[in-house]
């Protein structure tokens, strides 16, 4: 049975897209039945081109990716979510969305904050570097997530394991 993961950020244009791409890419490479989705509480309607460029350079297929609302995951027919990850930067006073929707059992939740690479200094080169470093950091955590026995952990154990990954 597929484990569905929803990755949230406010605008669903950069960090959540990087996380969706990396988790899907790594799960496919490792033969794991995990499917990532991303969404935003106030989607921008566009994907940051630097995010797409960083994913493309890593060999991630982003065809069909789009900026979308988290409302899509609260409707009938939405995939049953096992996990919701927020990736906004609460340390920078960024408002992180709190997801309450979905059908079935409530998903496990964890916050893994990343500074917004869109705000990096140094013009285009600085932003490209920030997006690549963010992609790498997210990829490292996604590898750790995929190493967990997701199908056998109950919600409290999963949340504890994910919180530990967040501290790494």
The residues annotated with a catalytic role in the active site are 9, 88, 96
Q: How many Cα atoms sit within 13 Å of 18 on the Cβ side?
A: 34
- Are 90 and 96 a contacting pair, CB within 8 Å? yes
Nearest to 145 by CA among 1, 17, 30: 30
- Write the CA distances from 4 to 19, 23, 24, 32, 79, integer angstroms: 13, 11, 10, 11, 7
Residue whose token pair is 């919701």: 84
Which secondary structure element, helix H or strand E, spans residue 104, and what is its range?
A: none
């Amino acid at each position: 049975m597929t484990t569905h993961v929803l990755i949230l950020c406010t605008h669903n244009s950069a960090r959540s897209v990087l996380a969706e791409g990396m988790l899907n890419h790594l799960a496919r490479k490792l033969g794991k039945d995990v499917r990532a989705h991303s969404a935003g509480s106030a989607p921008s309607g566009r994907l940051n081109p630097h995010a797409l460029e960083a994913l493309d350079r890593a060999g991630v297929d982003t065809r069909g990716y789009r900026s979308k609302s988290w409302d899509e995951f609260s409707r009938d027919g939405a995939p049953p979510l096992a996990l919701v990850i927020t990736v906004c930067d609460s340390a920078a006073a960024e408002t992180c969305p709190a997801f309450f929707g979905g059908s079935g059992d409530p998903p496990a939740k964890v916050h893994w904050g990343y500074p917004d690479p869109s705000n990096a200094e140094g013009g285009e080169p600085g932003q490209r570097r920030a997006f690549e470093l963010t992609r790498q950091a997210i990829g490292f955590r996604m590898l750790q997530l995929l190493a967990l026995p997701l199908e056998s952990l109950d919600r409290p154990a999963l949340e504890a394991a994910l919180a530990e990954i967040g501290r790494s």
